[in-house]
Structure formats: C-alpha cells, structure tokens
Amino acid sequence: ERMCYARVIPTRDRQEGMAAFIEKRPPRYTGE
C-alpha cells in the first residue's frame, strides 16, 4: 500500500505523513 501511495502522491509532506503514522508520532509538515 505504501508503494502505491508513493507513486500516486510523491510529495515530502505525504512521505512525512506516512512515516509519522508508521512511527505513531505527530507529523512535521513543511508545505512541500
């Protein structure tokens, strides 16, 4: 599932959101 999202929405904020979810922490968005 993560690989599918990476192809569809390749933004740093999306990557940060996914990492934060997996690590069970609040996301630190940068607007990118």
Q: Is residue 11 part of a domain?
A: yes
Residue 3, domain member (yes or no)? yes
- In the chain, the amino acid numbered 16 is E
Q: Based on the structure, what is the number of domains in the chain? A: 1
In a domain, 22, yes or no: yes
Residue 10 lies in a domain: yes
pLDDT per residue over 14-32, tens digit each?
A: 889 889 999 999 999 888 7
CB 11 within 8 A of CB 32: yes
26 versus 11: the higher-pLDDT residue is 26
Residue 32 lies in a domain: no
- Helix, coil or strand: residue 4: helix
Prediction pTM value: 0.63
* Assigned domain for 23 exists: yes
Q: Which residue in 14, 6, 5 sits closest to 29, CA to CA?
A: 14
Residue span of the structural domain in which 21 resides: 1-27
